[in-house]
Structure 1
């Protein structure tokens, strides 16, 4: 339930991702969410902002523990079918064994599947774990303030640019968020 305000924000900002890529490029996005008692679902792959918006507005947040392990496992399975250029995870808590999650992140790193982890809030334990997951996958970490929606929009646009055009297209983004993510990528 703590995620509903941020989910609502993301629903309003998701179209920004598609604006960050050149018209001749494509961005395929799959939405994966968890909620309640063990519920974890993924959508079909979509290629435009309207389709993603329809998927997102049909979902409501419910209380429950984090299921980051399932997110990482799903990313690994999808990457086995077709290369994923980026995985974005947005969260504010970790209620799972961090060492086990680090192992899963390391497995994604070996597959060259970068994680971009965006933290809402300032929990130092969450920050340390998210930074470690990003390091293990050669991805990036950023904290954002849900009261500053442009900041999350810039982060989503930066990852979309990276996913569709690599470091080159990410480097063409002008936001401070894009520059901060680029600096972390090795």
Structure 2
């Protein structure tokens, strides 16, 4: 096999940029380019809710900062979380909520191919019992309107996250009344 990176609970409390978390002695590491916190790490694209999607340049430190200040301090990601996301990983918000944030605390994420529909999400909630659900307001509304919603126990959810478009106050209130879970 190729290079492997191992993480675990013993590393979850280390927010700084580790050079290596652990190295499998049987693997070889690829050559890396020396980088610093202010060097370009990648581009994430906006949803385009105010027009066309925009590519936003991010430095390495941005990802660590976002994880520490939002995922840990606002949302409160935990090791026992299971994350489910409407947007796929190519959408910047889902890159955080379903990849970087769970990785930081040692949590897990449900990744699935195909289009996200209200029925598909309700099926995944019933099957996997996620604790965090990331969506867009339209999808939360579609889930509430789905005939299937009455047959799905949503009590596994402890928090829902919304992005991509404005969350109408009436939808927030209806979701909270039906699930007893806030949408942040």
Larger Rg: 2
TM-score of the two chains, using structure 1 as the length reference: 0.37
